[in-house]
Amino acid sequence: MNYLKSLMTIAIASTLLLSNNLYAQWKFPQDELDNITNNAMAQNEKDIFHYQANADQDLLSETILRQQKLIDNIAIPTDFSKSIDTLYIGDTPFDSVYITGDYFYDGTIAVIGEGKLVFEDCTGTITGDILVYGTDAKLWITNSTLSFPQSFWYQRSIIAGYNGVINISGSTLNYNGLPHDLVITQDAVVNQTDITNIGFTTCGLSLNGSINIDNSNQAGEFVMTDNASGLFMNSETVLVWHHIPDGGILDYTFPDGESMTSFGFSNADTGVTNIDYSYTIADCTDVKWGLMPEPGSDITISNSSIRTIGVWFKDIEDFAVSGLVNNSSYTDFNAPMSSHDIHLINTDVQTWSLYFFSGATGVVNSCIVGEIGTMGNSECTAENCLIDGSGGYLFATDTTVATSAFTYLNSNFQASGNALGIMAYGGQNMGRCIAFEKSIMFIVQANLLEEPEYHDDAMMWYLKIDNATNLYVESMVPILGSAWIEKASDYYPNEFGWLVAEYQAEGSEEWVACADTIFNEVFSNEICQWNTTGLDQGSYTIRLTMSDNTVDENKLEVVKQIVLTEDPTNINNFNISKTRIYPNPSTGIINIQSDNIKSIQVFTIDGQQIAIYKNTKQIDLSSLKPGQYFLKIQTNSECNTERVNIIDK
C-alpha cells in the first residue's frame, strides 16, 4: 500500500518541491548479502515452487490473472518517469489558471496558497503529480478526461493538504489501469461526483482530511486514520481500512458488504475505543473491510469476512513473524505476534500484509501474504515466503532495506527513495523488478520474467549463474550467466570492477579459480570456460564474486550447486574426428566441415533431440536460447558428436 509512503509526503511537500535530493547516502549491505550466500550454501536453493503449491490455487490463479491484466494494459513507453519540472499556481496573489481543450504537461502541478486551477471540458495528459495545499488552494476538474501515464504501480499521486480543496465532477481519471495514490490530510477536502476511474485508487486520510464520493464505477480503498471522515454513496468497490492506533480497541462484527444500503462507523459505536475517524456508506456495492493494527492495539473481530489485515510494526527490534497464510478461516485464532493483540473468532481473512516503519527490524518466515513494505529506516527480510500480490507488492522506500530471500513473488518488487532492495535465490512468477529515484537494487540468482528496470538516479546490481545442474567431467564447461552493474544516471560513482569464477568440491574448504579474473560485464552470455579435466565425479559449488571499482571493492556473490558426471554423449574421441564445426561459440549459424554428411541431429544438454537436418553443411540455430547443445553428425563413414555454444547476438 504505497499510500503509507504518501501520507508522509504531504508533511514535507513544500520541501520536496524545492529539493530533489533529500536522501541519506547509502551503505553497502555486505553483511546481509553474505548471510544470504551462506544460507544458499546450506539450503541448496530451496524449491519454493513446491511450497507455493500449498496455497489456495483457485484464488492464487485469480490474483495472477488480475495482476497480469494490469501489466498488459500498460500502453505507454516504459521510459515515462516523473519530471523535475513543476508548475506552480498560487505563488503570486490571486494566481489562477483555466484550462480547456487538449492539454499536456510534462511534470508536477502544484496549486498552493490561494491558487486556483480549473480543468473544464479538457482532454489532458500530465506526466507528474498534482498537489493542492494552502489556505485557499482549490482545484476543479469538470467534464474532463485527464490521463496520468504510469509505467509501474503508484507512480502518480494526487495530494491535498493544509485546507486544500479538490472538486471533481463528470470526469474520467485514467491511470493506465494501474493503482495510484490519493492523499488527503490536514483539513483538506476532496469531493467526487459522477467519476470514472481507470485504475484503482488508494487513498490515505489523516489529520481531519475528508472525502465525499457520489457515484463512482470503482471508488477504491481508503485508509481511515486520526480524525478523518468519509462519505461514500452510490458507488462500487469500496474498501475501508480501519487504522487501530496504540491503545485503540476494536471489538466488532462487520456486516456483509455485497450490497449495503446504509452503514456508519464512529467512536460512538459499541466496541470502538480511542478511534476517532468516522465514515458513512449509502447505497454501495462490493464493500470490503480492512484492518491496520499498530503495536499496542487490541482487536477482536467476530463473525466477519475481512478482505485484508495490514499489520504495522514500529520501533520493534528483532521481530519474527511466521505462519500467516492468506485465504484462511479462523474459528478461534490469536495472531502469533507478541507486539499485537489480534483475536479472530469465526472470521475469514483473505489477505495478510505487513508494513514496517522506523525502528522495526526483523524476519518474516514461511508465510503466504499479499504485500510487504518497508518505510522510514526499517529493515525486513522475507524468507521462504510467497508474496501473492493479493494486497499489492513488495516495496522498499526512504532509507530502508527490504530483502526477498528464497521467496517468490506474484507481484512487482519496487525500490524508491534511497532504499536498498535485495532479491536472492527466489524470483517472480509474475511482475517486474523496478528501482527508481535514488534506490539501489541487488538481484542475486533470482528467476525473473523480465529484465530489471532502473530509472531516475537508481542503480542495479545483477549476478546470476545460468548453467544447468548437471555438467560433465573431462571437458571444457562454459560458465553461463550475467554479471553487471548498471545505473540510470551518474549520481552513484560505482562502476563494474572485476569478476571471479571459482569452484569448490563437496567436503573441501578450498576455492579454486575456474579461469582468470574477468574485467568486462557479462549480459546473459558465457562468463568463462571451466576445465573439468581430472576432476572427480560428484557435487561441486560454483561461486561468482563481482566487485565494483571503488576503493572499498564492494562485493556481490552468488553460488550454485552442480553435479559433475560422465558425459552421456560419449564424445571422448571428438578431438581426433575429421569433422569440424565453426564458429563456436556462435550466434546461430553453424558450418560443418566434413565429407558426405547424411544427417545432423541437435540435442539439448540433457539429451533431448530438438531438431534434425539432412544433407547440409550449414544449420541455423539462432532460434534457440543461449546455452550448450550437442550436434550428432552422421556421415557415410562415421558418427561424431560435437558440443556447440549458442550465445546472444
Query: What integer pLDDT is reported at residue 72 of this predicted model?
Result: 38
* Residue among 351, 289, 356 at smallest CA distance from 321: 356
Q: In which band, very low, low, confident or very high, does the pLDDT at 23 lie, cut at 50, 70 and 90?
A: very low
Residue 300, in any domain of the structure? no
Enter the DSSP assignment of 269. Answer: S
17 has a pLDDT exceeding 70: no
3-class SS of residue 175: coil
The answer to whether residues 112 and 193 belong to one domain is yes
* Residue among 169, 166, 130, 124 at smallest CA distance from 147: 124
At 558, which CATH number?
2.70.50.70
Average pLDDT value for residue range 15-19: 29
Residue 399, in any domain of the structure? no
The answer to whether residues 551 and 583 belong to one domain is no
Taking only the tens place, the pLDDT of each residue in 191-242 is 999 999 999 999 999 999 999 999 999 999 999 999 999 999 999 999 999 9
Average pLDDT value for residue range 593-605: 84
Enter the DSSP assignment of 1. Answer: -
The structural domain count of the chain equals: 3
Q: What angle do CA 541, 547, 553 make, to 5 degrees?
A: 125
User: Cα–Cα distance between 58 and 292 in angstroms, integer?
Assistant: 26
The answer to whether residues 103 and 245 belong to one domain is yes
Provide the β-strand partners of residue 333.
Answer: 344
User: Cα–Cα distance between 194 and 123 in angstroms, integer?
Assistant: 17
Taking only the tens place, the pLDDT of each residue in 528-567 is 999 999 999 999 999 999 999 999 999 999 999 999 988 7
Could you give the C-alpha distances from 97 to 89, 223, 332, in angstroms and in order?
Answer: 7, 32, 58
Higher pLDDT, 24 or 84: 84
- Asked which of 565, 589, 608 is the last residue of a domain, the reply is 565
Which residue type is seen at 245?
P
* Residue among 576, 645, 562, 634 at smallest CA distance from 605: 645
Higher pLDDT, 392 or 193: 193
Residue 173, in any domain of the structure? yes
Q: In what order do the strands lie in the sheet with 597-604?
A: 609-614, 597-604, 627-635, 639-646
Query: What integer pLDDT is reported at residue 470 of this predicted model?
Result: 84
Average pLDDT value for residue range 592-616: 84
* Cα of 453 vs its chain's centroid, Å: 11
388 has a pLDDT exceeding 90: yes
- % pLDDT > 90, the chain: 67
C-alpha torsion 56→57→60→65, nearest 10: -160
Query: Are residues 183 and 166 in contact, defined by beta-carbon separation less than 8 angstroms?
Result: no
Taking only the tens place, the pLDDT of each residue in 301-353 is 999 999 999 999 999 998 899 999 999 999 999 998 888 999 999 999 999 99
Strand locations in 134-188, DSSP E?
138-142, 145-147, 157-161, 165-174, 180-185
574 has a pLDDT exceeding 70: no
User: Cα–Cα distance between 411 and 67 in angstroms, integer?
Assistant: 7
Query: What integer pLDDT is reported at residue 159 of this predicted model?
Result: 93
Q: What angle do CA 562, 480, 455 make, to 5 degrees?
A: 120
Higher pLDDT, 295 or 28: 295
Mean per-residue pLDDT over the chain, rounded: 86
Taking only the tens place, the pLDDT of each residue in 147-162 is 999 988 888 999 999 9
Q: In which band, very low, low, confident or very high, does the pLDDT at 395 lie, cut at 50, 70 and 90?
A: very high
Query: What integer pLDDT is reported at residue 568 of this predicted model?
Result: 59
The H or E element containing residue 8 is: helix 3-9
Q: How many CA atoms lie within 13 A of 312 on its CB side?
A: 26
Query: What integer pLDDT is reported at residue 19 of this predicted model?
Result: 30
* Residue among 237, 192, 184 at smallest CA distance from 13: 184
The answer to whether residues 542 and 581 belong to one domain is no
Query: What integer pLDDT is reported at residue 514 of this predicted model?
Result: 95
The answer to whether residues 145 and 170 belong to one domain is yes
Query: What integer pLDDT is reported at residue 76 of this predicted model?
Result: 32
Burial 239-258 (b: 16+ CB within 10 A, else e): bbbbbbbeebbbebebeebe
Higher pLDDT, 26 or 105: 105
The answer to whether residues 527 and 631 belong to one domain is no
Query: What integer pLDDT is reported at residue 56 of this predicted model?
Result: 35
- % pLDDT > 70, the chain: 87
User: Cα–Cα distance between 545 and 513 in angstroms, integer?
Assistant: 11
Residue 552, in any domain of the structure? yes
- Asked which of 251, 271, 293 is the last residue of a domain, the reply is 293
Query: What integer pLDDT is reported at residue 5 of this predicted model?
Result: 43
Residue 326, in any domain of the structure? no
Q: In which band, very low, low, confident or very high, does the pLDDT at 61 lie, cut at 50, 70 and 90?
A: very low
Residue 277 lies in domain:
86-293
- Grid cell for residue 539: 557435487
The answer to whether residues 553 and 584 belong to one domain is no
The answer to whether residues 612 and 578 belong to one domain is yes
Higher pLDDT, 77 or 433: 433
Higher pLDDT, 145 or 34: 145
The answer to whether residues 107 and 173 belong to one domain is yes
Query: Against a cut of 0.85, is the pTM above it?
Result: no
* Residue among 631, 574, 634 at smallest CA distance from 599: 634
- Asked which of 293, 311, 339 is the last residue of a domain, the reply is 293
- Grid cell for residue 34: 553474505
- Grid cell for residue 387: 508474496
Residue 55, in any domain of the structure? no
Residue 594, in any domain of the structure? yes
The answer to whether residues 527 and 596 belong to one domain is no
* Residue among 247, 375, 274 at smallest CA distance from 315: 375
Q: In which band, very low, low, confident or very high, does the pLDDT at 43 lie, cut at 50, 70 and 90?
A: low
413 has a pLDDT exceeding 70: yes
Average pLDDT value for residue range 635-646: 81
The answer to whether residues 139 and 227 belong to one domain is yes
Q: Examine residue 29 and say whether the peptide bond preceding it is cis (omega within 30 degrees of 0).
A: no
Count of Cβ atoms closer than 10 Å to residue 583 Cβ = 12
Taking only the tens place, the pLDDT of each residue in 246-304 is 999 999 999 999 999 999 999 999 999 999 999 999 999 999 999 999 999 999 999 99
At 641, which CATH number?
2.60.40.3080
Residue 516, in any domain of the structure? yes
The answer to whether residues 611 and 474 belong to one domain is no
* Cα of 406 vs its chain's centroid, Å: 15
Taking only the tens place, the pLDDT of each residue in 107-119 is 999 999 999 999 9
Query: What integer pLDDT is reported at residue 370 of this predicted model?
Result: 95
45 has a pLDDT exceeding 60: no
